[in-house]
Structure 1
Amino acid sequence: MIVPDGYSDIPAGKVAAVVTHLEMTVRPAPRPDPPGAWTLRRVEMPPLDWFRDLYRRVGEEFLWVSRIRMPDAELAAIIQSSLVEVYALVHDGRDEGLLELDFRIPSECEIVFFGVTAKLVGTGAGRWLMNRALELAWSRPVTRVWLHTCTFDHPGAIAFYQRSGFRAFRRQIEVRDDPRLDDAAPRDVAKHVPVIE
């Protein structure tokens, strides 16, 4: 269904976001690493509690909830797949960034989740993590690396991805239940997305 031009009402209790899909089909020239004391750790067979904790700390402010709501067996089947790689950005001995690469579609890599915790936003850690993500993605025989972001995410996300070499190719509107109304997310997060009951 194509949304008509003009305004469309969103029911109370729902949230709506514009989702932008971005891709690259050629490996970009590497960008310089910013200075910082970060390391990357691959997490083999990620424990679900560990994954959800880091996922929440990175994405809660942006209403990341799909993996919080997902049944354990479904989440385990994804993140513990041999074709999915999960990494943590480590700072001062603590996991402070999340990177999930999905190679389940032949010749493609989807950067499914990417981000750093609030304490590292603006430090260069995101640039450093993206440099590692692209190195890892393009180390496989892929012809396409892609991801998506939405208007709930950091306002600089699209420009950051474009500077990294991605180009937008698709836009969608996502409407879903507001996770702050069913305890999937705390009521006081994502103040840039008002709660309407």
Structure 2
Amino acid sequence: MSITVTTWSLEQTSPADLAPATPPDAGSGIRIVRSEVLSPEFSRFLYTAVGGDVTWTDRLGWPYERWQAFLDRPGVETWVAYVRGTPAGYIELEAQDEGVVEISYFGLIPAFRGRRVGGYLLSEGTARAWDLAERWPGLTPTKRVWVHTCSKDGPYALDNYRRRGFRLFGTKTEEEPEVPAPGPWPGA
């Protein structure tokens, strides 16, 4: 059995394109923190906790060494949203050639969706994509930030990117095998 999946590719080509979300109230307990000591364990936790119910499966088979090699690349950063000390979601940035930064993963743990965390996390993460080279000597300053999302992602994903100033530059529709959502851990 297969399903039809539409993938949208979006971009910003200037820091001025970013339309930030309204910051949360001071009492909300929301903080965005860079994970400065990247570990495969924590990165895989975020990946499965956020993507387990929306069928993120491409990294599930990665062995520890592949996670570590990816995380050790210059210009790979993970920014985590915390709500009163609990991880609520994350945004993963990946520097590419010629000043391009991909938002390789972005999302919220299901319990935090619909609580106005996503817009703020995307705003802060996109701003960090624009100033990525300031933290990584030797990287070309950012000239373009891009991301893709698909119809399997949350119902507000595409609109969130557009509200933050991302412009659509590509759309493709494909048939994919229907895969049951793996959940955040094996057997979930």
TM range (shorter): 0.7 to 0.9
Q: Secondary structure at the match of 2:171?
A: strand
The counterpart of 2:34, out of the listed 8, 21, 42, is 42
RMSD: 1.9
The AA in structure 2 aligned to 1:24 is Q
Q: For the Cα contact (< 8 Å) 1:84–1:104, is it kept in 2?
A: no
Give the equivalent residue in structure 2 for 1:148. 148
The TM-score normalised by the length of structure 2 is 0.81
State the distance in 2 between where 1:32 and 1:49 align. Answer: 32
Give the equivalent residue in structure 1 for 2:13. 25
The AA in structure 2 aligned to 1:152 is K
Q: Give how far 1:101 is off.
A: 0.4
The AA in structure 2 aligned to 1:98 is Y
Q: Secondary structure at the match of 2:59?
A: helix
Q: Can you list the C-alpha shifts for 1:24-73, whole angstroms capped at 9, x where unaligned?
A: 11222434213231112222342222221221111111111112122332
Do structure 1's residue 99 and structure 2's residue 91 form an aligned pair?
A: yes
Instruction: Give 5+ residue unaligned stretches, structure 1.
Output: 1-11, 187-197
Give the equivalent residue in structure 2 for 1:191. none
- Distance 1:173-1:78 versus aligned 2 partners, 3 A rule: farther
The TM-score normalised by the length of structure 1 is 0.78
State the distance in 2 between where 1:56 and 1:174 align. Answer: 24
Instruction: Give 5+ residue unaligned stretches, structure 2.
Output: 134-140, 184-188
Q: Return 26-35 or 123-132, whichever deviates more.
A: 26-35
Q: For the Cα contact (< 8 Å) 1:34–1:127, is it kept in 2?
A: no
Give the equivalent residue in structure 1 for 2:118. 126
